[in-house]
Amino acid sequence: TLIFGGQVVSPQGAAPADVLIDGEIVTAVLAPGAADALDVQADRRIDATGKYVLPGGIDVHTHMDMPFGGTFSVDDFETGTRAAAWGGTTTIVDFAVQKKGGSLQEAVDTWHAKAEGRASIDYGFHAILADVNETSLKEMDVLVDQGVSSFKLFMAYPGVFLSTDDQIIQAMFRAADNGATIMMHAENGAAIDQIVSRAVADGHTEPKYHGLTRPIALEAEAVNRATQMADVTGAPLYFVHLSSGDAVDVVAKARDEGRNVFGETCPQYLFLDESDLARPDFEGAKYVCTPALRPVEEQAKLWRGIRTNDLSVVATDHCPFCFTPDKQLGRDDFRAIPNGLPGVEHRMDLLHMGVTKGEISLARWVEIAAATPARMFGMYPKKGVIAPGSDADIVIYDPAATQIVSAQTHHMNVDYSVYEGWEFTGKVETVLSRGEVILENEHFSGALGRGKFIKRDLSQYLV
């Protein structure tokens, strides 16, 4: 296959080039016209004139088919990976959830069973450490050898996922030993639960109180605490879903000191804000995720963090629940609203909006959405780059096309969109996964189960 006439975008910038693919692999990136001069015979020629040619997006934070609050996130590996592909994402890394009293291996085996035969794009797993004990600490080493080289811990959700500081520090010592990355959900959950109880006792049960009871200070406090523990232990530390400028400031300071501390944010924190939680008729429930959406002025601070690389990855935290019935569980009490937003389909487009609005460059777009996620989670250069030897995961993106987002037309298995009615400039035109065209002409053809598990290495950013 030869993709010709487009602008190939990488973290170094955009340049006109043609991409030659043999089977599943990129074999050459050629100067325009060189393919003809070399008399390259291609079975298939794809015209990308006027389009961007991007490494496929890598979303390192999704929750497919995840049990939560008595229900399950509504995208499974079939619908979720298909929706991802529609949005220009060709790799996801999903979270295998350890059960309390269960083993990490059991969690990963369960996730393999969920994904195998269903995923249409490639996928890897992180493991959620929900029960840190002698056994699960030992299992961390075993999972690293299986290509599950990152472990999420929670400072939030007491009684569900929360790890106490003694557990966190043990997991960090282990990670410092085996090189795994600790991923942290940084919010002071015990303190937040007290604030939540006070609000509910005062009769404040509407969705907006989900936001009002989770102050930024208790995110920044947890980020600081985890950063200090990582310093003491030497563990590589990656903060998931950072939502506030104060949290980013803590990360920035640690990075300035040369530490292996990294930050991720999500499109919802860049484009939505706390006023969405106050929408009437219980619509605010559609916007309940954790950390909560913040005051609108935080958005500019997060964009700045992306530019300074204190935030180096943008992932979705895709965790969809239907408005009816799932979110209705919390009609009378926001505590019972399943936490999470749908978003896996829209990350590339939303970040492209960051480009058109002048928040980031084209090069930075590809860096935060593909190249850095691949390096951060040990998949580079198989994924995240268009270069000889890399998997031909390629997106042809039309920067001039427009689209209007709606739950009527999106491909996620959820009955609402947090971006309903938004007009995006830019649209995915063609998607190749390991050399196979799986999306073109508004038609998806990726076979069920063609996606492969990616056995990941350690982070490629450790010093």
Binding site for Zn ion (CB under 5 A): 185, 204, 317
Residue 263: name its binding partner from Zn ion, ligand URP, none (Cβ under 5 to 8 Å by kind). Answer: none
Q: What is the DSSP letter of 258?
A: T
Q: How far apart are CA 240 and CA 60, in angstroms?
A: 10
Q: Least distance from C-beta 140 to Zn ion, angstroms?
A: 19
The set of long-range contacts for 14-18, using a CB threshold of 8 Å and a minimum separation of 24, is 14/52, 14/362, 14/363, 17/53
Q: How many CB atoms lie within 10 A of CB 359?
A: 19
- Alpha carbons within 13 angstroms on the beta-carbon side of residue 237 total 34
Rounded Cα distance between 200 and 198, Å, is: 6
**Which residue type does 242 have?**
L
Name which of residues 46 to 65 contact ligand URP (CB under 6 A): 63
Least distance (Å) between residue 426 CB and Zn ion: 26
Please report whether residue 233 would count as binding ligand URP according to CB under 6 A.
Answer: no
- What is the number of alpha carbons within 13 Å of residue 359 lying toward its C-beta? 19
The CB-of-319 to ligand URP minimum distance in angstroms stands at 4
- The residue from 340, 373, 426, 446 that contacts ligand URP (CB under 6 A) is 340
Q: How far is the CB of 102 from Zn ion (least distance, A)?
A: 19
* Total interface residues for ligand URP by CB under 6 A: 8
434 binds ligand URP (CB under 6 A): no
Helix axes 165-178, 216-233, angle to 10 degrees: 50
Shorter beta-carbon distance to ligand URP: residue 260 or 339: 339
Cβ 15 to Zn ion shortest distance, Å: 35
Chain residue at closest Cβ approach to ligand URP: 339
Each residue 284-323 as x (binds ligand URP by CB under 6 A) or -, in order, gives: -----xx--------------------------x-x----
Site for ligand URP in 63-82 (CB under 6 A): 63
User: Cα dihedral angle (220, 226, 228, 230), rounded to 10 degrees?
Assistant: -150
Is residue 339 near ligand URP by the rule CB under 6 A?
yes
Query: With CB cut-offs between 5 and 8 Å by kind, which of ligand URP, Zn ion, none does residue 289 bind?
Result: ligand URP
- Compute the distance between CA of residue 224 and CA of residue 152 in angstroms, rounded to an integer: 17
Q: How far apart are CA 12 and CA 87, in angstroms?
A: 23
- Which of residues 110 and 403 has its CB atom nearest to Zn ion in the complex? 110
Half-sphere CA count of 94, side-chain side, radius 13 A: 32
**Interface with ligand URP in residues 128-187 (CB under 6 A):** 185
Binding stretches for ligand URP (CB under 6 A): 63, 185, 289-290, 317, 319, 339-340
